[in-house]
Amino acid sequence: MKKQLLAFTLILILLPLAACADFTPEHAIAYMDSHFTCGCERGGSGVMIGRRGLVTAAHNLYCEKHARPLKYCNFHFGAKSANSCWYKYSGKFAYKVYSTFSNGYDARDDIAAVVFDSPVGKETGWFGWRVGTDSYINEEYCNVLSYDFRRHMQNEFSIEYVLNDRQIYWSGWSSGTEGGPVYFWQEGMDYPEVIAVYTSHDSSGNGYGRRLTNNVINDMRADGAFN
Ligand SMILES: [Zn+2]
């Protein structure tokens, strides 16, 4: 009986370590092929931040030109090319967008949460998240990861700055698709922490991100993204 208890305790202790060793950031990031009811299509990126929850840019779920919603979208996690990925999800999901672009594009609200019907995170793993304070964001370096249109991962590493209570910016932008994570992952941290999603860039070469705020996290929690 004691031996069984010891074995059970060891499993409990070792399980999180095993999960940690298996974590591959690219597997938790999806290339999204979004098809809208207006007929437009676009490629995007999104990142898992819970067992069922993914965050992305709102304009991957609503057409920013015509304010029309998705017709369908496939999620290619850990994509390597147009035909190869770690895990593909084409099932049902719910989503909440912070802008439908009915008054034109607005980067400040260009964020959305997807909640999958299945626990996709069991296959892909997921990032941690942080509601970053202004001083924290202004002092830290971060990575931006997103797929390009060949579905190859693009990485940008930079110091980032607060633009306002909803947005950050940084010098240098990834040429990848929008919606991928802006995250910290430093020595001593077991998992990367998403602080924003990549939304856009300007002609001077600055990248912009929509911050992960308490509102977004609370909505995702209420919608079951962390269940
Ligand atoms: Zn459209």
CA 162 – ligand 1 centroid, Å: 31
Task: Dump pLDDT digits (tens) for 112-129.
Answer: 999 999 999 999 999 999
| pLDDT computed for residue 15 by the predictor | 47
Token digits of residue 197: 């999603």
Go through the domains of the chain in sequence order and give each one's CATH number: 25-126+218-222 (2.40.10.10), 128-216 (2.40.10.10)
CA 102 – ligand 1 centroid, Å: 12
CA 62 – ligand 1 centroid, Å: 8
Q: Residue 192 — left, alpha, or beta (φ > 0 → left; ψ -120 to 50 → alpha)? A: beta
CA 93 – ligand 1 centroid, Å: 21
CA 104 – ligand 1 centroid, Å: 12
Exposed/middle/buried for residue 22 (C-beta within 10 Å: 0-12, 13-18, 19+):
exposed
CA 38 – ligand 1 centroid, Å: 5
Task: Dump pLDDT digits (tens) for 147-166.
Answer: 999 999 999 999 999 999 99
CA 202 – ligand 1 centroid, Å: 22
CA gyration radius, the chain: 18
158 φ, ψ (degrees, to nearest 5): -160, 160
